[in-house]
Amino acid sequence: MPGQHTVRDRDTASRAMAVAGPDGGGAAFAAPAPRSRSTGVLPPRAAFYLLASIVVSFLAASSAPTPLYAVYQAEWGFGPVTTTLVFGVYAIAVLASLLTLGRLSDHLGRRPVLLASLAAQAAAMVVFATAHGVPELMIGRVIQGLSTGAALGAVGAGMMDIDRRRGTVANSFAPGLGTATGSLVSAFLVQYLPAPTHLVYLALVGVLALQALGVALMSETLTRTPGALATLVPDVRLPRTVRRAVLNTAPVMVAVWALAGFYGSLGPALVRSLTHSASAVYGGLALFVLAGVAAAATLVLRSAPARGVMLTGIGTLIAGVALTLVAVEDGSPVLFFLGSAIAGIGFGSGFQGGIRTVMPLTAAHERAGVLSLLYVMSYLGLGVPSVIAGYLVVHAGGLLATAREYGAAVMVLALLALIGLLTERRGSRSRTGIA
């Protein structure tokens, strides 16, 4: 448990536990992260939960505009293509930041990168709160994406620096929790409180300020090393030890985030068409169900073997998406939300399985970089398909037809991941001489 051992105890234990990750596989861990250069007043346990809360708040901030798109559309008169562009530009900004800033904390330390990211995220909230048109939304999303990309690698690696096992689980649990809470809380604020396009963002500014204070009081978990400027040059190389694992997990990680992208950009419009209701709560509920169940599945399956979690994710993702497609055909909101919940199990299991398959194979100085590349894959799945879907809604078969095509594509990606896992298992048996 974080906070129950000294740094020396953790280093000794880490050396003694040079074995694979949460499921007891066979790959060796590298040496633990170097001792911190500074001592803060925040205990390690509190620092761990603070870092997890930063992931939650950043992902909550990213999903907060989802229930507001209908309000923006009514006020500023734009359509589905613009909605998905506003959504997609965020994903592109995250990608750019992950590729250029994702490894920065491996050299500068976690704290300075997090403090800068929190300040930039607060600035994005101010831009949203004062927006008067689509250009301001775009600017806010770009600032938000850049700060999120810089923070994700640093905060995820920082949690693993403090507690490797819990950090691996938290890295897959916190994004779903943040996405779910941001969507639903924003929806309730829009529906029942005044100033819907201002209040949620100002509340998030307050949360971010408190978190910045906490980061200033925590210890640095990594000693500063040279080479920070070199990390600003995009580098998509993966350590040899994780390449096969990333290849096998990539399709399902892209698939689950592509589904989240659809729910985040066009989900509210789809729910309105099925429920015949303009309620903002319904608009935020779809993404909440998907991401909330995903977070719950992450906790329930946290002790299961990573391979089993991946297979669970693939199976439930296919089943859930198939059921939502049946719901779209029948016009049944009940079936839609049930399918969303089942797909949410696939979302949480697929993402957690990917993180837990890859991250235990990384050395301490590789963690932020590898985690950033995993998020690159995820945000490619989040942003690019949703923009394509927005174009198809307007220029092809409309919302319902696009939902069918999108769901079919997600299921194909999940099947590719299944083939990869089964092929890898046969290959492993052949290499070890097992019949």
Residue 155 within a domain: yes
User: Residue 65's domain spans which residues?
Assistant: 40-221+239-432
Contact 410, 325 (CB under 8 A): no
Residue 84 within a domain: yes
Domain count, the chain: 1
Contact 350, 229 (CB under 8 A): no
pLDDT at 57: 92
Residue 8 within a domain: no
Cα(190)–Cα(283) distance, integer angstroms = 11
SS (H, E, C) 369-412: HHHHHHHHHHHHHHHHHHHHHHHHHHHCCCHHHHHHHHHHHHHH
Residue 158 CA from chain centroid, whole number: 16
Residue 337 within a domain: yes
Residue 228 within a domain: no
pLDDT at 124: 95
Cα(383)–Cα(258) distance, integer angstroms = 7
Residue 231 within a domain: no
- Domain with residue 188: its CATH number is 1.20.1250.20
pLDDT at 126: 95
3-state secondary structure at position 236: coil
Q: Average pLDDT of each block of 10 consecutive residues along the chain (435 residues)? A: 38 32 32 47 89 90 82 82 82 84 81 94 94 92 92 84 81 80 83 84 94 91 74 73 81 86 80 83 84 88 86 92 91 92 91 82 74 78 78 78 86 85 63 42
Residue 432, CB half-sphere, CA atoms under 13 Å: how many? 8
Residue 18 within a domain: no
Residue 2 within a domain: no
DSSP label of 81: H
